[in-house]
Structure 1
Amino acid sequence: MISIAFILTAILIGVPAWWLLKDFVLRSPLDKIPGPPSPSLLAGHLGRLFHRHEGWKLHNELASNYGPVSSLKGGFGKRMLYVRDPTALHSIIIKDQQFYEESSFSISMIYLVFGEGLIATLSDQHRKQRKMLNPVFSINHMRHMTPIFYHVAHKLREGVENQVRQGTGDVDILNWMGRTALELIGQGGLGYSFDPLVKNSKSEYGDAIKATLPAMFALGGTQFLVPYLLKLGPPGFRRWVLDHLLPDRRVQHLKDIADYLDSQARSLISKKRLALKEGDEAVTQQVGEGKDIMSILMRANMAASESERLTEEELVGQMSILIFAATDTTSGALSQILQLLAEHPDAQERLRKEILDARAPSGEDIPYDQLIELPYMDAICRETLRLFPPVTDVYRDAKKDMVLPLASPIRDLDGKWMSEIPIPNDTRLIVSIRGCNRSKQIWGEDANEWKPERWLSPLPGSVTDARVPGVYSNMMTFLGGGRSCIGFKFSQLEMKVVLSLLLGSFKFSLPDHEIVWNLAGVKYPTVGRISNTPSMPMKVELLNEKAL
């Protein structure tokens, strides 16, 4: 009888041997695609690709020295394809999206931490959840959200003003934007208040959300074990494995965060369900007055047919993922905009004038329809999100042999032109959001320059003819297709409401310290290159109080 030890030994030896044979010995059509030489036999380009500073250099090198598609190597020689060609991206994320799924390690990690929310599901389950959530993110609903956003933004302005009047030095804009983004999604998404903003306060829920991304990245290579962990039988057994066979403190820390988020989400859902049963009066007494995303989603879910209804686990997953997905991305984008306005004081003054003119003569908050149409504010938001997307790239895995079409032919290593690329099953593709957004073939020779004015006149034919498959404004920032960012309108409104109040009240200038943006799942700023603590101090001055 074959012993368990023999089987385990065979697996431990056989799996790596197969990987080595497949990726180091067997030939592939991808071997002819140009790309930078691999710096490591075992790690390939991963060391550079995931490095918070060196990663930017690799992205720039690929854009400057290679075509719209280039080859990279992953761990143990695994072949990867770096893609920024718009026609190829259309195939990956729209036309053939069912054959290019999100990579197993990223989906598994999100599922393990947040549960069965929108980002962590695939195929029919993902489509069912998206169908239920789509109406909540409609333009009509955004109009109803606007007063909630202004309510939070006024508290932000008061909090920043209090700090400026105290004269305690530079203001950490990233900290304020992070607190604000969390409160915006808290009130607008969950009907829950994390932070009063007008004073310093501690929120365990908020701290857990902020700690999630660093805890995930701290796992390093351990995260690649997650897809295999999820295949180890029922949840109870997987929990036992986590508790007893993976004592690593980083793993246990992330597990504790996941447990806390799960318990808080279930508690909030229970309170909402009770209020919904008690009737409209009880619902309106909650934060958000029942207009928040989760309240509306739960009402729709109760009214849906049994086949369309989301399970309790799916509702819990939506709540945690909504907060996670909306906090660091929005806070980073707002911080980046304020930094750019400090670097370009003429642009800052022009935007401030546009805001104050829109508020005159009453000085009241700018209504939704007028706010979203402010041309220069819209141009600044679009150009910043084009040039500096919060998420640099995403990963997809080919689930069968495919053929990837190209908008522009590339020359292979044999000197032959290719208008399409054979993609073997299990190939990992890197969808380069930043690379497509900065393509000179699409945006022109000034593609790497921040020019809001490019959005104040019709876009050139090179942009419109490229048919970039993004859901937002000819760019890939919010992706496209069935896995595009469902909350991009929510995010746009958040940013414009916050900017309309901050720019009308304060002048922003650069600090004396260097601000460095670090590459990560969601990029973040630090003071200098040595520190890894997210922070972005700026000089903030209170404007003439008549402008308030």
Structure 2
Amino acid sequence: MFNLAISLAGTSIALIFTDRFPGWTFKGLFSCIFGINFSIQLFWDILIYPNFVTPLRYVPCVPGTVSQLHILMDSPRGQLPLKWMRTIPNNGLIRFRDIFRHSHLIATNHQALLDIMSTNTYDFEKPWKAREFLARIIGFGLILSEGNAHRVQRKALTPAFNIKNIRSLYTLMWEKTNILIDELEKEVKENPMEGTNTNSSVGKVEMSVWASRLTLDIIGPVAMGRDFQSLTHKENKVADSFLRILEPTKEKLIFLAVNFIFPQWFASRLPWKLNRVVNEETGYLRSVCHEIVQEKRRALQSQKADTSELDADILGTIMLRGEFSDDELVDQMLTFLAAGHETTASALTWACYLLCQYPDVQNRLRQEIHDTIPSSNSPITWTQLEAMPLLNGVCQEVLRLYPTVPNTVREAVRDTVVAGVSVPRGTMITLSPYAINRSPHFWGDTGAEFIPERWIDTDEKGNKTVNHNGGAPTNFAQITFLHGQRSCIGKDFARAELRCAVAGVVGRFMMEMQDPNQEIHIAGAVTTKPRDGMHLKMTAVDGW
């Protein structure tokens, strides 16, 4: 309505000028109307609306101008929002303005997070530019779907992730963890530390690559019934493709920024090597997923596989429902392959890092593991792993301090309300798991510290027991997996996978940093990874 008023006002002013200067041509008149309308609109957008009209004008504001690029290029990502949460008094929202004076919001308290992630979930969507770029990598699966499409997909996929199904997967996870342990022992012997012999049990390991291969070999059978065997085959195209796409470099972060700022029709055509890398590697991954979907489809049509066999993995389960086309199934498999292994791989890498920084915690955790599980070859149960207080405390702290996706952005697709504030359509809102998970509002002065004991209670008999809130006043104090209708559907799977991996690695190895003075930088374009890898000194523990 206001734009129409501006247009009418500009046109009226231009017509007054034409009365005064009757010799003007049509082209001159058009240029005059356009120039006046543009000037009025600019005056309104930059000066009047952001300062005197927007309902967001009373929200506490960060001084100066801040662009989304500042948030994206922040190192570590989430540090700026955390700084503002610590220093700017607010009632659930903090505002910052870009160079065009547009207001952006950051959610900071329970009510704001509840409104965005639960109460008014579908009032917010991922910005189209971000979705379009990410879809090149992971397809338009569950993570990138919005509105009714998301409701339908979530309903169809949820049964595959119920807690009973997840707990039945502990055997597979433990089996793969043991393969990882064996491969790590070989690596230790092949790469002894300086001053030790080739048969030494002390050697060098770059952990982030091994973590990624472990989780890929777990999600493959779970998602699509395909064991990629990347742990035992160093030349593995699927693992290498993900590595080339997600390996943390400064160039990839800049590439991400360009793709978030410019439309895909432009960004994807830039003569940039990374465009070719993304196209080649995602093309290969998509072809693998398509091949597997076709194999399942033929088995279903020929009835060579019975229902129980097809229902043994996520792909088979959703194919039996008949709600997705083959292209949609490929998108879902790409999503599960990428998100399903990258989350836990990142968490396992950071778990090893933190345990190197806190050797006392590492030693106590190893003792708890040995007291509960006689050896790595012993079968395990979900009750064992889920009831180990320190193991759960360590895993929860890792997920809290190092969320795989440190920031995510939502756009209000209609006028809505957040924490009692009217939020106009088109407003961008940043959700920062990195900042929320460390916020003193939820966690006090120790929010940035690694304290596994915050997740451990003591019962009336003095026994240590698991708690699931870390002492925080709300579940929204930790949003690594988000909450509500858009929460990560595989969060329980990821937690189970991490428990198995940490129990196996810590049970078998003592870990130190190869270089105790190395400064580890949190990097990564889409997910968080150590910039130059995680180079550990690992010592095999006898008798387990």
Match of 2:163 among 139, 153, 174: 139
Structure 1 461/541 Cα, relative in aligned 2: closer, same or farther at 3 Å?
A: closer
Q: What residue in structure 2 maps to residue 165 of structure 1?
A: 189
The aligned amino acid for 1:63 is M
Structure 1 516/18 Cα, relative in aligned 2: closer, same or farther at 3 Å?
A: same
**TM-score scaled by length of structure 2:** 0.80
Q: What residue in structure 1 maps to residue 535 of structure 2?
A: 537
Shift of 1:391: 1.5
Where in structure 1 are there 5+ consecutive unaligned residues? 1-6, 230-240, 303-308, 406-419, 528-534
Match of 1:483 among 486, 495, 498: 486
Where 2:446 maps in the other structure, the secondary structure is: coil
The aligned amino acid for 1:521 is V
Identity value in percent: 26
State the distance in 1 between where 2:177 and 2:468 align: 38
Shift of 1:196: 4.1
Match of 1:219 among 255, 277, 280: 255
Q: Does the 8 Å CA contact 2:412/2:428 hold for their aligned counterparts?
A: yes
Shift of 1:226: 6.4
Deviations, residues 315-345 of structure 1 (Å, cap 9, x unaligned): 1110001111123221111111111111111
Where does 1:451-530 land on structure 2 (aligned, <5 Å)? 451-457=451-457, 466-469=473-476, 475-512=478-515, 513-518=518-523, 520-527=525-532
Q: What residue in structure 1 maps to residue 81 of structure 2?
A: 59
Q: What residue in structure 1 maps to residue 105 of structure 2?
A: 81
**TM-score scaled by length of structure 1:** 0.80
Q: Does the 8 Å CA contact 2:241/2:281 hold for their aligned counterparts?
A: yes
State the distance in 2 between where 1:324 and 1:511 align: 29
Where 1:495 maps in the other structure, the secondary structure is: helix
Q: Does the 8 Å CA contact 1:442/1:463 hold for their aligned counterparts?
A: no
Q: What residue in structure 1 maps to residue 338 of structure 2?
A: 324
Structure 1 159/228 Cα, relative in aligned 2: closer, same or farther at 3 Å?
A: closer
State the distance in 2 between where 1:335 and 1:265 align: 27
Match of 1:312 among 322, 326, 330: 326
Structure 1 361/206 Cα, relative in aligned 2: closer, same or farther at 3 Å?
A: closer
Structure 1 515/222 Cα, relative in aligned 2: closer, same or farther at 3 Å?
A: closer
Where 1:395 maps in the other structure, the secondary structure is: strand
Match of 1:350 among 350, 364, 381: 364
Q: What residue in structure 1 maps to residue 142 of structure 2?
A: 118
Q: Does the 8 Å CA contact 1:46/1:73 hold for their aligned counterparts?
A: no
Q: Please state if 1:33 is matched with 2:66.
A: no
State the distance in 1 between where 2:377 and 2:291 align: 40
Where 2:457 maps in the other structure, the secondary structure is: coil
Q: What residue in structure 1 maps to residue 45 of structure 2?
A: 22
State the distance in 2 between where 1:148 and 1:54 align: 34
State the distance in 2 between where 1:333 and 1:16 align: 51
Q: Please state if 1:294 is matched with 2:330.
A: no
Q: What residue in structure 1 maps to residue 70 of structure 2?
A: 48
Structure 1 488/202 Cα, relative in aligned 2: closer, same or farther at 3 Å?
A: same
Range that drifts further, 341-350 or 27-36: 27-36
Shift of 1:213: 4.0
Q: Does the 8 Å CA contact 1:87/1:468 hold for their aligned counterparts?
A: no
Q: Does the 8 Å CA contact 1:48/1:54 hold for their aligned counterparts?
A: no
Range that drifts further, 186-195 or 24-33: 24-33
Q: Does the 8 Å CA contact 1:443/1:462 hold for their aligned counterparts?
A: no
Where in structure 2 are there 5+ consecutive unaligned residues? 1-29, 194-203, 459-465
Range that drifts further, 55-64 or 141-150: 55-64
Where 1:219 maps in the other structure, the secondary structure is: helix
Deviations, residues 38-60 of structure 1 (Å, cap 9, x unaligned): 35xxxx33343122526454234
State the distance in 2 between where 1:278 and 1:124 align: 33
Deviations, residues 379-438 of structure 1 (Å, cap 9, x unaligned): 111122122222212111112222322xxxxxxxxxxxxxx3221221000012222222
Aligned length: 486
Q: Does the 8 Å CA contact 1:52/1:518 hold for their aligned counterparts?
A: no
Where does 1:184-199 land on structure 2 (aligned, <5 Å)? 184-198=218-232
Structure 1 75/122 Cα, relative in aligned 2: closer, same or farther at 3 Å?
A: farther
Structure 1 135/283 Cα, relative in aligned 2: closer, same or farther at 3 Å?
A: closer
State the distance in 1 between where 2:334 and 2:274 align: 20
Radius of gyration: which is bigger? 2
Where 1:30 maps in the other structure, the secondary structure is: coil
Structure 1 197/363 Cα, relative in aligned 2: closer, same or farther at 3 Å?
A: closer
Q: What residue in structure 1 maps to residue 24 of structure 2?
A: none
Where 2:217 maps in the other structure, the secondary structure is: helix
Q: What residue in structure 1 maps to residue 125 of structure 2?
A: 101
Deviations, residues 139-178 of structure 1 (Å, cap 9, x unaligned): 1111332222122111111110001122344210111111
